[in-house]
Amino acid sequence: MTEPALVRLEPLQSVQPKGALCAARYLDRGAGIIQDTHTCLYWLREPLEPAPEFDGRWRRAGRWLRWMFNRSGAGNPATGQASAYTWEEALQAAAAFNRAGGGAGYQDWRLPNRGELKTLLNRRQHPAAFSGASAGRFWTSWPHRYPRYAWYVDFDTGHTGYLSKDARLQVRLVRGGGHEPALSIA
């Protein structure tokens, strides 16, 4: 009888980032994508922008996606501020973003939960990786126990709280990076 081969899980070797290593925690993966090496989450560098013809429903999502990634500067081109969404609009925007092709070849982008979004609050590491449009309040995917409210994270104060789902806040999408170990047979 032969002994079974041992299977050992080893982490993948570090991949050289397309851009600079951002503050020792964030890797710039190009195409507006930042990887958090501590959580293995992938974030859009810029807050989500709506289609210019946004009226509560998403139309012409493909045109919107091209506009979003080809624009220069952060936030709304006219005001320099990121766009604001109600909580329902934020959920619809994430779905529309994925239907329009998503980002970096992935179509599983979503609103982050409260814990995920709070990982970006480290003041010393955050500014180097994300744009100046990252100040303010951002929606999370978590509804509050009271149906008219949902949770947010405030990047100005570092606090979390809940507001009416009709409030207009910014949106930053995330996708689960998941650590994918490589198999090696010893």
pLDDT tens, residue by residue, 95-148 = 999 999 998 889 999 999 999 999 888 655 555 677 655 688 999 999 999 999
Position 51 in a domain? yes
What is the domain range of residue 181?
A: 7-185
pLDDT of residue 37: 87
**Cα 42-47-49 angle, rounded to 5 deg:** 125
pLDDT tens, residue by residue, 74-100 = 333 333 456 899 999 999 999 999 999
Average of pLDDT values for 45-71? Answer: 54
Position 54 in a domain? yes
Q: How far is CA 171 from CA 14, 112, 153, in A?
A: 29, 9, 10
pLDDT of residue 186: 38
Position 25 in a domain? yes
Residue 47 has what DSSP assignment? P
Q: Are 143 and 149 in contact (CB under 8 A)?
A: yes
Position 2 in a domain? no
pLDDT of residue 152: 96
Return the exposure string of 101-127: e unless at least 16 CB atoms fall within 10 Å of the residue's CB, then b. ebbeeeeebbbbebebbbbbeeeebbe
In this prediction, residue 154 has a pLDDT band, given cuts at 50, 70 and 90, of very high
Bigger pLDDT: 124 vs 170: 170
Query: Please, where are the H alpha helices in the chain?
Result: 61-70, 87-99, 114-118, 126-129
Position 180 in a domain? yes
Number of domains in the chain: 1
pLDDT tens, residue by residue, 16-40 = 344 455 556 888 888 889 898 888 9
Position 84 in a domain? yes
Position 102 in a domain? yes
The tokens describing 136, both together, are: 């303010």
Position 1 in a domain? no
What is the reported pTM? Answer: 0.68
